[in-house]
Amino acid sequence: MIRPILIHPDPRLKKACAAVGDLSDALRQLGDDMLETMYDAPGVGLAAPQIGILSRVIVLDCDKEEGVPPKPVVMFNPEVMASSEDTNVYEEGCLSIPDQFAEVTRPKEVEVRWIDRDGKEQTAGFDGLWATCVQHEIDHLDGKLFIDHIGALKRQMITRKMQKLKRELARKKDA
């Protein structure tokens, strides 16, 4: 089921999310819904708080080339275990901050540990867009957005645009 995506600013996007317990069918369904919502948007990552669920769940698929089979990944309780000193600058966006982009510097490579859909613990290294994306999504679980990594002026400008967008969307809904 495709779920509505919250638009910044929203208090639910600023909250630290709770770890999930033992995997249940409800949690697996949440992961499936998040993937469906992400692909529909379309985006390369989505975190549970973006659909108003304050649990540590993220989904990603950062293989953007045409014609490659989808590589959906669902992570429960993901944690960055190690980060490279080398950094990478990537122009990031966010489904909760539509049509706004800014350069963000992050570690180039990270090692991440998580619980997979089968309840098994996994550890893997990520680089390139996958590294950027997994860090961006884990940030969401701590109430942090990519605009929290950029200068205050640009952040305020983007936030004002989002407030305007939300007013317009609310008007359309009322009309």
Task: Enumerate binding residues for Ni ion (CB under 5 A).
Answer: 94
Going from the C-alpha of 27 to that of each of 74, 88, 111, the distances in angstroms are 10, 33, 24
Kindly tell me which of 10 and 23 has the beta carbon lying closer to Ni ion.
10
Block residue for tokens 């990594």: 149
Question: 49, exposed or middle or buried, with CB in 10 Å at 0-12, 13-18, 19+?
Answer: buried
The three-class DSSP label of residue 90 is strand
Going from the C-alpha of 153 to that of each of 49, 72, 148, the distances in angstroms are 25, 35, 11
Whether 137 is catalytic? yes
Kindly tell me which of 60 and 94 has the beta carbon lying closer to Ni ion.
94
**Nearest approach, Cβ of residue 149 and Ni ion (Å):** 12
**Nearest approach, Cβ of residue 18 and Ni ion (Å):** 19
**Nearest approach, Cβ of residue 137 and Ni ion (Å):** 7
60 half-sphere exposure, CB direction, 13 A CA radius: 22
Annotated catalytic residue, options 36, 65, 79, 137: 137
Comparing every residue's Cβ against Ni ion, the nearest one is 94
Q: Minimal CA–CA distance to 48: which of 24, 64, 27, 63?
A: 27
**Nearest approach, Cβ of residue 96 and Ni ion (Å):** 6
Kindly tell me which of 23 and 55 has the beta carbon lying closer to Ni ion.
55
Kindly tell me which of 59 and 94 has the beta carbon lying closer to Ni ion.
94
| Chain centre distance of CA 102 | 15
- Which residues are the active-site residues? 137
